[in-house]
A and B are shown apart, each in its own frame.
Chain A
Amino acid sequence: MPRRTMVEAIRDAMDVMMARDDRVVVFGEDVGYFGGVFRCTEGLQRKYGPTRCFDTPISESGIVGVAVGMAAYGLRPVAEIQFADYMYPGYDQIVSEAARLRYRSAGEFTAPIVVRMPCGGGIFGGQTHSQSPEALFTHVCGLKTVIPSNPYDAKGLLIAAIEEDDPVIFLEPKRIYNGPFDGHHDRPVVPWSRHPLSETPDGYYTVPLGQAALRREGSAVTVLAYGTMVHVAEAAAAETGVDAEIIDLRTLVPLDVDAIERSVRKTGRCVILHEATRTSGFGAELSAQVQERCFYHLEAPIARVTGWDTPYPHAQEWDYFPGPDRVARALQSVLEGG
């Protein structure tokens, strides 16, 4: 089976859908001729022409706003925000418009848009190229929020997102665009080609939204993670020898609560990971869900390992990033507890 990087898988998903469905249009800052600053749309303008894939003015409110208008007309816009950190001018269009159009018009108008955006740190991008704003989307009713951790899922989830009839926020952890990253920043970069999940079938396939994936089966503790942190969790489990069950959530809303409940009932322990800041992060929602559904099965308090509650710093990037050592400590302390 062909192997793809995350970037190639994402590009292929758009390519497949642009070929299958002429309502699919792709646009954003630098996505046309140049193919995007991370190369996710490279070649699409050449292949499908400048009215199917084009550069936009530097205006995130404009990008999301026109996407909503196009979607209401009947197109399937896939908009790119150059960095998730720059989505804020478009946030009003996402929250007040895209997310609620179906509800407020009783289904007369809908906004089936996909808004793709690279997120997360690990590239010394400082506070404006490193953020993980997923919780700002999961808190909004009417949005679906997706965050893949590998090329196979990225392609299948993006195709599913484009086919989805509601607006989807598609977060792409940029640190794993070109290779899996387990948080050991001082080790040589590993390419995707050596990872089994870089095998992505050609052509059309989907990974349905709302389904988590089991990355590692285990009995001692459940680890809930998504995006880059899935790889960090795998490294921490391997290094500590803790028999962790690692669940890659893949879609945050709608959440696969069955997968979570099944696992925590089995292990009786739960560690939640995300790179985003802690307070009111998505981990708080996960923790509440686990408590509500599995309280009588828990043998230790739920633990969260997250970014600190500060803007993403530049020089202190690796002090900030919740790497494998912090995850390992949490795994061990949750095992000792109870």
Chain B
Amino acid sequence: MTTEWQSLSLHVPGPPVRPGDRPDFSQMQIPRAGEVRRPPVDVAASDIHDLAYSVVRVLNRQGEAVGPWVPALDVDALKLGLRAMMKTRAFDVRMMMAQRQGKTSFYMQCTGEEAIACGFQTALGTGDMNFPTYRQQGLLIAQDWPLVDLMNQIFSNQADRLRGRQLPVLYSAREAGFFSVSGNLGTQYVQAVGWAMASAIRGDTRVAAGWIGEGSTAESDFHSALVFASVYRPPVILNVVNNQWAISSNQAVAGGESATFAARAHGYGIPSLRADGNDYLAVRAVADWAVERARRNLGPTLIEWVTYRVGPHSSSDDPSRYRPKEESDAWPLGDPIERLKKHLIVLGAWSEERHTQLQAEIEDEVLAAAREAERHGTLHDGPRPSAADMFRGVYKDMPRHLREQRQEMGV
């Protein structure tokens, strides 16, 4: 074929840096705290397209809360937020250690991302439903859900409410508005939309929140969720947690090089914005805004939370193989716990000493919970769910063929 055109070439994106390189976040455009406007909740999607390319931030470098998005939270509420984040982190540390000690097969931390789930949960009410991924343990911990209960699931022990059948961290806690977590990425995003549609069909006041990682926005289910949310305008908050990395592939491989994840909503006419996911106050303020929209029957909101996955993807992962070790320290949005702590100190409501003391209290609490959970057994040790449990719950009533198989097994 002779043409005037030059040969085509394929664009294959990758992260700006790999192990051995210097971390580089120079591409990220981060406005100063307080700079982004706060539109009314009934704003038209097309009037806030710019917010999908900005970042809502409240806490500045000095630890002050500034600008139109400062949420009306008293000091006690802020302390509860700090406590929830610290507890989530301590829980992760202890459970990762338990995994290393062979007490369970698998664990996933949310280190560095605590503000998102812990802050968001406080904007919801009883009866609302989260459709979380495996990295939103903060939704439960922020509600003071018993740590022992989570640990029992992680250890797949005799007290595990999921009877040992489900992979660790794929919790289910209906009373806490926490939908059973699936191991298959993206599937639950569209279910959140369906749940919200049901609330509207029934004339209730409940809202739903879908959760997805930036990597998983590539799944078709993400796009199905957006089109249904666009068509039926149900009361749903569509959260995208952009922690920069899926497993070894960074957000560019999910399309983040060409547009932000918040901007995906534009084609569907869904209002969307980006927010600083490491800023507890910004999280709460933006969550409040989106939840209010949902409650007022104004329809869906998509929020991209900008954050960084500090730990490995899971206990099976070694991030030093694909990203510079120092990248986490170079992350420009800092650490959510440190930032809220500083803010409380600036307010005169907190001190290093009280922080150290709280950290110690929390570690004791987590350790005590772990000891209690271990009394119910761990994956390879002590009491465990029975083999008969394996056959239960496949159907409401056990059909004949499963009864026969159970008998064949002699349990």
Report the Cα distance A320→B388, complex, angstroms.
Answer: 11
Using a CB-CB cutoff of 8 Å, which residues 42-97 of chain A contact chain B?
50-51, 54-62, 85-86, 88-89
B75 contacts A by Cβ under 8 Å: no
Whether A320 and B248, one on each chain, are in contact in the complex, defined by CB atoms closer than 8 angstroms, is no
CA distance A132 to B166 in the complex (A): 17
CB pair A320 B183 closer than 8 Å: no
| In the complex, chain B residues 364-402 whose Cβ is within 8 Å of any chain A Cβ | 379, 384-385, 387, 389-391, 394, 401-402
CA distance A33 to B246 in the complex (A): 13
The answer to whether the Cβ of A29 comes within 8 Å of any Cβ in the partner chain is yes
Q: Which residues of B contact A56 (CB under 8 A)?
A: 253
Q: Could you say which interface size class chain A belongs to?
A: 35 or more
B residues 174-225 with Cβ under 8 Å of A?
A: 182-186, 215-216, 218-221
- In contact, A58 and B402 (Cβ under 8 angstroms): no
A313: interface (CB < 8 Å): yes
A-B contact count (CB 8 A): 135
Of the candidate stretches B8-16, B277-285, B343-351, the one touching chain A is B8-16
Cα distance A309–B395 when bound, in Å? 11
Q: Which of A34, A60, A126, A315 contacts B247 (CB 8 A)?
A: A34
B391 to chain A: closest residue by CB:
A310
Chain A interface SS verdict (over half): loop
CB distance from A92 to the nearest CB of B (A): 9
Task: State whether B10 touches A51 (Cβ < 8 A).
Answer: yes
Which of chain A's residues have a CB closer than 8 A to the CB of B322? Answer: 33-34
A58 and B216 form a contact (CB under 8 A): yes
Cβ–Cβ < 8 Å partners of B14 in chain A:
32-33, 50, 55
CB atoms of A30 and B405 under 8 A apart? no
Residue from the list A88, A278, A313 in contact with B165, Cβ < 8 A = A313
Which residues from chain A contact B18 at a C-beta distance below 8 Å?
A: 33
Residue A105 at the chain B interface, CB threshold 8 Å: no
> How far apart are B74's CB and chain A's nearest CB, in angstroms?
41
Sampled A-B contacts (9; CB under 8 Å): A29-B246, A29-B249, A54-B12, A57-B215, A85-B183, A89-B221, A279-B401, A313-B390, A320-B390
Q: Which 7 pairs, one residue from A and one from B, show the smallest C-beta to C-beta distance? A: A315-B164, A128-B183, A126-B167, A57-B218, A34-B248, A315-B156, A124-B105
User: Known pairs A33-B18, A34-B321, A127-B167. 15 more at Cβ < 8 A?
Assistant: A29-B249, A30-B247, A51-B12, A55-B14, A57-B215, A58-B185, A60-B219, A85-B184, A89-B219, A89-B220, A124-B106, A127-B165, A308-B402, A314-B105, A316-B389
